[in-house]
């Protein structure tokens, strides 16, 4: 039987189950009548959906809900702290990390390891990553959780709807399919089916984390239109329009680090010249600040260590480092001005390593955006958009990966473990 608009009853039921689960996950503990009111269904219509989700172990009943009226109070609903978990993994230039989040959004397990991954072959990297994944999955299994999906964040271009890293200049990878190297994780021994695997650009996942987790702690939720900029060895960006990632025809949108800032500048690993990364990437800033990137990496290994070094030196008044960060902000502002004029976002969000350097980078960045933002006939020069700093910092891509891995559960609660690649968000 087909409902109006070509939807089947099964399809409508599936969407309504997802709406109930999302509502409880976002707002729970919450009563059944409140769920019905918030998604626009009757109490009678919500009751069987809630019962299905309770039987599946995705929802649990908590204490009594206050009704404010006559009659016996009902129980409140919350998402279970057992059952499906999203597994996020991050492959960085100098580290690997894995974490698991439950349906309540809580991090239930996390491990990380220093790893010199630049120009290291994918095979050894994936073997080391698989060991970390095994640690996390064993830890959450002891707490009654099972992986519902795995999303891997990488600093490079990823083929759309695939698991292949097309090009990651700072890793030295080209056409690297990660699925075979993670097969033992995505189809664990004794498991009945493969865990859905998604590989995604780290900047995109940082932006998704900002959408889902950027508010709270006294901070407003991010606007629906923003550009999210993150940095480690390289610089990436993600464009969010109306709450959705703008991916581009091949999924390569957001390569801000390879926008030419000074066309006659030094050559870049991408094949161009004068790219933003040559002025605002971590190695470039270290060199401009009088530090040798290789020596700094050896003396300060691990994720964020060189950024912390730069921040300490700037705080201590190291003139060369302060000047280098000022120049990096100028280059960022020049590169971002083109995106701002083209897309007219409500905000620019600095995430990743840039969040830790914001006090020294922001002034020159904001100055360039103000100078270079287009003039409108109605209001004259309007200046640049608001520039904010993500509270997630360098954790954004990893948290974004873990939450993205739960997307299949939230989209289709009772059929979330079909062995297939999970859809892009």
Q: What does the pLDDT look like over 119-152, one tens digit per residue? A: 999 999 999 999 999 999 999 999 999 999 999 9
Tell me whether the omega of the peptide bond preceding residue 337 falls within 30 degrees of 0, making it cis: no
Q: Is the pLDDT confidence value at 270 over 80?
A: no
What is the average pLDDT across 377-404? 80
Q: What is the pLDDT of residue 128?
A: 96
Residue 404 vs residues 90, 199, 400: alpha-carbon distances, Å? 13, 10, 6
Nearest to 201, CA basis, from 304, 93, 90: 90
Tokens matching residue 409 = 């559960």
Name, in order, each residue with C-beta under 8 angstroms of 271's C-beta and a sequence gap of 6 or more.
Answer: none
Angle, vertex CA 177, rays to CA 271 and CA 283, nearest 5:
40
3-state secondary structure of 377: coil
Reading phi first (left if > 0) and then psi (alpha if -120 to 50, else beta), residue 290 is in left
Tell me whether the omega of the peptide bond preceding residue 2 falls within 30 degrees of 0, making it cis: no
Tokens matching residue 216 = 């709270």
Name, in order, each residue with C-beta under 8 angstroms of 293's C-beta and a sequence gap of 6 or more.
Answer: 282, 283, 286, 287, 306
Confidence at 183, pLDDT banded by 50, 70, 90: confident
Q: What is the pLDDT of residue 217?
A: 63
Q: What is the pLDDT of residue 84?
A: 93
Q: What is the pLDDT of residue 187?
A: 60
| Alpha carbon distance, N-terminus to C-terminus of the chain | 30
**Pairing mode, if any, of strands 226-231 and 347-350?**
parallel
Q: What is the pLDDT of residue 366?
A: 92
List the beta bridge partners of residue 159: none
Q: What is the pLDDT of residue 73?
A: 55
What is the average pLDDT across 227-251? 87
Q: Is the pLDDT confidence value at 199 over 90?
A: yes
In this prediction the pTM is: 0.86
Confidence at 66, pLDDT banded by 50, 70, 90: low
What is the average pLDDT across 183-211? 81
Nearest to 205, CA basis, from 405, 348, 423, 358: 405
Higher pLDDT, 419 or 286: 286
The mean predicted confidence, pLDDT, of the chain is 85
What is the average pLDDT across 82-108? 93
């Amino acid at each position: 039987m087909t409902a109006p608009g070509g939807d089947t009853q099964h399809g409508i039921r599936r969407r309504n189950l997802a709406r109930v689960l999302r509502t409880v996950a976002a707002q729970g503990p919450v009563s059944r009548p409140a769920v019905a009111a918030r998604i626009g269904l009757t109490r009678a219509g919500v009751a069987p959906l809630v019962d299905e989700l309770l039987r599946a172990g995705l929802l649990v009943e908590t204490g009594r809900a206050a009704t404010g009226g006559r009659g016996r109070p009902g129980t409140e609903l919350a998402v279970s702290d057992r059952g499906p978990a999203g597994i996020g993994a991050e492959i960085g230039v100098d580290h690997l990390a894995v974490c698991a989040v439950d349906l309540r959004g809580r991090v239930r397990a996390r491990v990380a390891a220093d790893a010199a991954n630049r120009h290291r072959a994918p095979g050894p990297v994936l073997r080391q990553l698989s060991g970390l994944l095994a640690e996390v999955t064993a830890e959450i299994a002891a707490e009654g959780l099972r992986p519902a999906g795995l999303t891997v964040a990488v600093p490079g271009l990823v083929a759309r709807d695939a698991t292949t890293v097309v090009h990651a200049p700072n890793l030295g990878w080209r056409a690297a399919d990660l699925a075979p190297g993670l097969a033992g994780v995505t189809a664990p021994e004794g498991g009945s089916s493969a865990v859905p695997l998604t590989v995604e650009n780290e900047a995109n996942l940082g932006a998704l984390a900002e959408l889902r987790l950027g508010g709270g702690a006294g901070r407003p939720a991010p606007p629906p239109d923003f550009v999210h900029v993150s940095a480690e060895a390289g610089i990436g960006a993600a464009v969010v329009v109306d709450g959705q990632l703008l991916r581009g025809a091949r999924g390569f949108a957001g390569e801000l680090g390879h926008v030419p800032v000074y066309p006659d500048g030094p050559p870049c690993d991408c094949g161009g010249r004068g790219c933003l990364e040559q002025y605002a990437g971590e190695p470039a800033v270290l060199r401009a600040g009088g530090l040798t990137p290789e020596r700094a990496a050896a003396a300060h290994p691990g994720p964020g260590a060189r950024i912390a070094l730069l921040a300490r030196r700037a705080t201590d008044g190291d003139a060369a480092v302060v000047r280098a960060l000022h120049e990096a902000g100028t280059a960022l502002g020049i590169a971002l001005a083109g995106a701002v004029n083209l897309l007219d976002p409500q905000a620019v969000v600095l995430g990743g390593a840039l969040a830790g350097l914001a006090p020294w980078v922001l002034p020159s960045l904001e100055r360039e955006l103000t100078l270079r933002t287009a003039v409108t006939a109605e209001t004259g020069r309007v200046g640049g958009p608001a520039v904010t700093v993500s509270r997630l910092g360098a954790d954004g891509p990893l948290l974004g990966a873990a939450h993205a891995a739960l997307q299949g559960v939230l989209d289709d609660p009772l059929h979330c473990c079909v062995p297939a690649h999970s859809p892009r968000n």
